Amino acid sequence: MKALMFGWEFPPHILGGLGTASYGLTRGMAQQEDMHITFVIPKPWGDEDQSFLRIIGANSVPIVWKDNNYDYVKQRMEGKMSPEEYYHLRDGIRYDYRRIGTDDLGCVGFSGRYPDNLIEEIGNYEAVASVLAHSLDFDIIHSHDWLTYPAGVFAKHISGKPLVIHVHATDFDRSRGNVNPTVYAIEKRGMDEADHIMCVSNLTRQTVIEKYGQDPRKVSTVHNAVEPLEHPEEFTKPERKDKLVTFLGRITMQKGPEYFVEAAARVLDKTDGVRFVMAGSGDKMAEMIDLVAKRGIADKFHFPGFMRGKQVQEMLAMSDVYIMPSVSEPFGISPLEAMQVGCPSIISHQSGCAEILQHAIKTDYWDIDAMADAIYAIVKYPAMYKSLHELGQDEVNHIRWYDAGLKVRRIYDGVINHTL
Amino acid sequence: MKNICFCFQMHAPYRLKRYRFFDIGQDHYYYDDMQTEEHIQWLVNTSYMPLCATLRDMIKLSKGKFHCAIAISGVTLEMFEQFAPEMIDILKELASTKCVEFLATPYSYSIASEYNEQEFKQQLALQSDLIKNVFGLKTSTVWNTELLYTDEMAYNLQKMGYKTVLSEGAKHILSWKSPNYVYQSAGSSKVKVLLRNTALSDELSFHFSDPGWANFPIDAEKYADQLKNLPEGEDLINIWCGAETFGVLQNAGTGIFDFLKALPYFILEREMGFVTPAEAAKKMTASDVLSSPTPLTWAGEAKDLSVYYGNDLQQEALNKLYAVAERVHMCQGKHLKMAWLRLQDINYLHYMNHIDQGHTQYESAYDAFINYMNILSDFLQLVEEQYPTTIENEELNELLKTIRNQEEEIQSLKQKIAKKK
C-alpha cells in the first residue's frame, strides 16, 4: 500500500498540534510492514526524521520546465534530492505554471508557516501536487487539514486515485462560529470531493456532518494518540509547599483562559496553599492579566510566558493539576501529555480527547463551579490525586498511534475496494 | 421434603445533592429530597408495591402455606414513612398474616460490621426496634448488607443473641458442596448459616426474559420441576433476590408477577413446602461447618467487597468516615446521628467504582467521590467542632461521663447535706 500524503507541518519544526499528529500517525502506520508513505510538506528543514517515511519538500519540486545540466542540478539540490529524481519529477510537468514566480530550477518557495499570503501558498502547493500526481506511483491520497485539501483534490482528479482527508480542526473550532468564508469554501470543497473523511473526534465528526453537510456514512472518527515518552523517569515532581495548578497553551478565545482565572478565584477564596500558572502567550494574555488583578489573586497567579520542548513536560511534571478549559477543541493532545508524566488533568466536555479518556475530570468549559470543585478535590483529597496520577498514566500508555494507524488502514482498504 | 425459602430485600439510598467545596461549613443539609422522593416513588410503584400485592395474593391463594421473608433497611422504612406511606400499610398487612418474617439488617445500608463492631450492633438494634414498633414483630435472622458474612461477624452476632445468618452460596467457599443445606458457622457453634442458591436466584433476576437462556421461557411449572429434581437430601432451596428483580430488572410486561403468583400452586402440587429462614434454621440441623474468614457477599463476580472498597477513592472515603465512629457514638445531636447513618450507605461507594458504578447519577467515579468527600468534610468538621481531635477518645469519654453523671452527683450530695441537717 503506497500512500501519498499532503501535510503542512512535520517535527521538529512545528507550530501547532497538526505537526505532532502528522508525525505520530505516520510513525504508527509505518509499523505496518507493507505500508509506504510519501509525505509532502511545503518546506523541510532537513533535520526531519526520515527513517520510516519519505519526505518531499514542495519547494524542491519543479513546476516549470527549466533546462539545467546534471552537474548544476547536483550542486543546487545538494542534500535535498538527487538529479535523477529531479529529472523524473520534471517529466511530470504537464501544465504551464509560468505565472508563478519560480527560481532557476523551476521550483517555488514556501514559508512553511501561516503567512498573510496563505491562500497564494495553498495555490502553489496545489501546482506542486499536480506534478507529483503525474510522476509518482501511489494507491491512495491522504490530505491533512484544509491547507492541503486543494492539493489532494487536484491529485485525485489527475490520477483517478481515491482521496481521503483528515480533519484535524475546522474553522468552526478556530473562530467560535464566525467562519471565514474563503476558508469554509476550501474546506467544503475538499470534503465534497473526498472519498472518505477522517475526523480526530466524534465532536469534529458531528461538525463535519452538520456544518458542512456531509453524508454520515462517509465520515469516520480516528482518535489521535500520543507518542510514548522515551525516558519517563527523567521527569520528577519536586517537593514543594504549595500545590500547582497549570494551564498551558495559546492564550486565545478558543482555549477558554478566562474560565480558568474565574475557577482559580473561587478556589483561592476558600483555600490556601495553591498556586495557579498560565503558561503560554496569545492575544488574550493582557486581558487575562487584567482579570487576575481585578479578582485580587495576582499574588497566587503567575504568567511565566511561552514554553517549548522539554520545558513543557517539566512544567507539567511538577504540576499537581493540568487544566484545559477549551471552548472548542477538536482533539487536544496536551492533556494526554500531562497524564504521561503523571499529572492529573481537568478537561472540558467540549474537547475531543474527553471521548477517549476515563481517568481525567471532565466539566463543561463554562461550569467554573465544577472546575473549581475538581481542582479543590485533587489538591485536598490524596486518593483523588493518587488515582488520577496512577490510573491516568496507565490509561494514556495504552492509547497508541499504532492502533490509530490500523484504523486508517482499514479505511484505505475500504475506500480502495469500495466496501466502506 | 424439600423446602423453598424466598427472601426479598428492599433498599434505596438517599440521593445526595450537588455539594461543592465552598458549601463546606456553610450548608449542613446534604440530601436532594426531590430526587429521593421521585426515585422511591418510582421504585414503589414499579416494583415494591406490585411485589407486596403479589405476595399477599400468594399467601391468600395458598391458604397461608406460602411463607417468605423480607429485609428492609431502616433508612428505607424512614423513606416509606415520609414519601410512600402506602408501603407501610401493605407491609403491615403482610406482617399480620404471620407468614412473613422480617429480617434484621443494618439500619443503614452499611458495611459497619467490617469497620466497627459497636456500630454494627447499634444499627441492627435500631432497625430491629423500628420493625418491632411498626410491625410488632421480633427479628431473629440477620441479613447483613449485600449478604456480607465473615466468621468473626458470626461470632459477634452470637454475642448479640442472633442464631441465624444469611449469606451467598459462592463457589469459592462451597467448592463441591451444595448451598441447599443448613451450615454451621466456623465462627460460632451456635450460629447457623443459610446460603443463597445463586444459580436459581439469578435465573429470575437476570435471565427470566432472556431469550438466549437455555431454560427460556421460564414458567412456574418448569421452575417447580427444576426445584423438585434437585438431588435428594438437598432440602432447603434459598431463592433470594433484591425486590427490584420484580418490576425493574424484569418489568411487569415479562410476566414475572404472574409467574410468582402461580408458583405456590406448582410447588405445593409437587409436595414441596415453603419456609422462612427462621423456620428453616429451627427445623433443620446443620450438615457441615462453613468458614469464610474474609468477606463473603453476593456482590459482583468476586462475591466479596471489592466492588465497594477495591480502589483508592473508596478506601479513602471509608477510612475517613469510620475514623470518627467512636466520636459520633458520643454525640447526641440528632442531625449528626442522622447524617452519620445515611452517609454510611455503600451505594455511595459503589458510585466510586471505576468499572461498574451501579445505578449512579454521577458522570464518573471521580465526580461521585468529589461530591461525597465534600459532604463528608462538612460532616467531619461538625464532629470536630463538638469534640476536637486534640482531646483523646478516652479522655473525652471520661469527661463526658463526668458531665452526664453531674446530675446524680449533685443529687446525692444534696441528700447528704439534707441528712447532715
Distance from CA of A94 to the nearest CA of B (A): 58
Distance CA B114, CA B117 (A): 7
Q: Which of B22, B318, B377 to mutate to test the interface with A (most CBs of A within 10 A)?
A: B22
| pLDDT score of A393 | 94
Distance CA B387, CA B391 (A): 8
Number of neighbours of residue B264 by Cβ within 10 angstroms = 25
| pLDDT score of B255 | 95
Distance CA A129, CA A137 (A): 13
Interaxial angle between packed helices A368-380 and A257-270, expressed in degrees from 0 to 180 and rounded to the nearest 10: 50
- Contact check, Cβ <8 Å, B366/A383: no
- Contact check, Cβ <8 Å, B369/A377: yes
CB A324 within 8 A of CB A247: yes
Residues of chain B with CATH 3.20.110.20: 3-290
Chain B neighbors of A358, CB-CB under 8 A: 354, 364
Chain A neighbors of B373, CB-CB under 8 A: 377, 381, 384
The closest alpha carbon to A169, from A151, A155, A183, belongs to A183
For chain B, say whether A178 makes contact (Cβ under 8 Å): no
Q: Which are the contacts of A279, defined by CB distance < 8 A and separation ≥ 6?
A: A246, A247, A248, A249, A303, A304, A305, A306, A307, A315
Beta bridge partners of residue A275, listed in sequence order: A244
Residues of chain A with CATH 3.40.50.2000: 2-225+401-416, 232-397
CATH of domain A2-225+401-416: 3.40.50.2000
Domain B3-290: CATH architecture, name and number where available: Alpha-Beta Barrel (3.20)
Q: How far is CA B280 from CA A159, B184, B220, B334, B420, in A?
A: 83, 13, 23, 39, 64
- Contact check, Cβ <8 Å, A377/B374: yes
pTM: 0.89
* Alpha helical stretches, state H, B98-197: 112-115, 117-135, 151-160, 171-174
Taking CA atoms, what residue in A is nearest to B317?
A383
| pLDDT score of B420 | 85
Distance CA B47, CA B246 (A): 6
| pLDDT score of A93 | 94
For chain B, say whether A321 makes contact (Cβ under 8 Å): no
Phi, psi of A310 (to 5 degrees): -70, -30
Smallest Cβ–Cβ distance between A381 and the set B22, B363, B373 belongs to B373
| pLDDT score of A15 | 77
* Alpha helical stretches, state H, A275-328: 285-294, 310-318
Mean pLDDT by runs of 10 across the 420 residues of chain A is: 95 84 94 95 91 94 92 89 92 92 92 88 95 96 96 97 96 85 96 97 96 96 91 85 93 93 96 94 94 96 88 91 94 92 96 96 96 96 96 95 96 93
> What letters, b where the CB count within 10 A reaches 16 and e where it falls short, cover B23-52?
bbeeeeebbbeeebeebbeebbebbbbbbb
Strands (E), A26-155: 36-41, 54-57, 140-144
Distance CA B228, CA B180 (A): 12
The closest alpha carbon to A405, from A26, A120, A33, A135, belongs to A26
Q: Which are the contacts of B176, defined by CB distance < 8 A and separation ≥ 6?
A: none
Assign residue A145 a region (left: φ > 0; alpha: ψ between -120 and 50; beta: otherwise).
Answer: left
CB A171 within 8 A of CB A184: yes
- Contact check, Cβ <8 Å, B21/A373: yes
The closest alpha carbon to A56, from A82, A77, A80, belongs to A80
Distance CA A105, CA A62 (A): 6
**Torsion from C-alpha of A173, A174, A178, A180, nearest 10 degrees:** -120
Cell readout for B84 is 410512600
Distance from CA of A275 to the nearest CA of B (A): 17
Distance from CA of A84 to the nearest CA of B (A): 59
Considering only CB atoms, which residues of chain B are within 8 Å of chain A? Answer: 20-22, 24, 311-313, 315-317, 354, 363-364, 366-367, 369-370, 373-374
Q: Which residues of chain B have pLDDT under 70?
A: none
Cell readout for B86 is 402506602
Distance CA B368, CA B313 (A): 10
Strands (E), A203-257: 219-221, 243-248
| pLDDT score of B169 | 94
CB pairs under 8 A between A and B: 56
Smallest Cβ–Cβ distance between A381 and the set B311, B316, B364 belongs to B316
Distance from CA of A390 to the nearest CA of B (A): 10
SS3 letters for A63-87? CCCCCCCHHHHHHHCCCCCCHHHHH
CATH class of segment(s) A232-397? alpha beta
CB A340 within 8 A of CB A226: yes
CB A6 within 8 A of CB A140: no
- Contact check, Cβ <8 Å, A381/B20: no
For chain B, say whether A386 makes contact (Cβ under 8 Å): yes
Task: Kindly state the DSSP code that residue B359 receives in the 8-state scheme.
Answer: S
Task: Kindly state the DSSP code that residue B204 receives in the 8-state scheme.
Answer: H
Distance from CA of A18 to the nearest CA of B (A): 30
Find how far residue A289's CA is from the centre of its chain: 28
